[in-house]
Amino acid sequence: MRRFLQRCLLCAAAAGLGSLFLLGTTPAQETKQEAKKGAAAPQVKGEDVKLRGQLPPNWGKIGLSEEQKQKIYQIQNKYNAEIARLEAQVKELRAKRDQEMRSVLTEEQKKRLEEILLKKIK
């Protein structure tokens, strides 16, 4: 029962992360000056730097002002690194899970599974 709950939790987390990924958020591009300085501030020498990104599906149809778009891009940037870290963690957990599941198989079953997977790739 505990493993079932763990799987459910993992699936829910993966689904949540997947849906965030599917929203189509992309990191805004840095200016050359920001990249050199490593600055995260949206302003360079007092000038406003326009962030670029991608709005979630259908958000472009609701009449967002340029200011709203910039705030949305800033929010996306704020969360992108954390989302990427969590996605990497989920990938690592899946690999660990798969390795543990394979340890249950006999050598013959492992061979057969590899054959099936190789046929599927071709």
Burial class (CB in 10 A: 0-12, 13-18, 19+), 25: buried
For tokens 């996306």, name the residue. Answer: 76
Number of CB atoms found within 10 A of residue 76's CB: 22
pLDDT score at 49: 80
Residue range(s) defining the domain that contains residue 97: 2-121
- Overall number of domains in the chain: 1
pTM: 0.49
pLDDT, tens digit only, all 122 positions of the chain:
556 556 655 566 666 555 545 455 444 444 444 444 444 444 444 456 888 889 999 999 999 999 999 999 999 999 999 999 999 999 999 999 999 999 999 999 999 999 999 999 98
Residue 1: per-residue pLDDT: 55
pLDDT of residue 25: 47
Cα 14 to Cα 17, 55, 84, distances in angstroms: 5, 22, 12
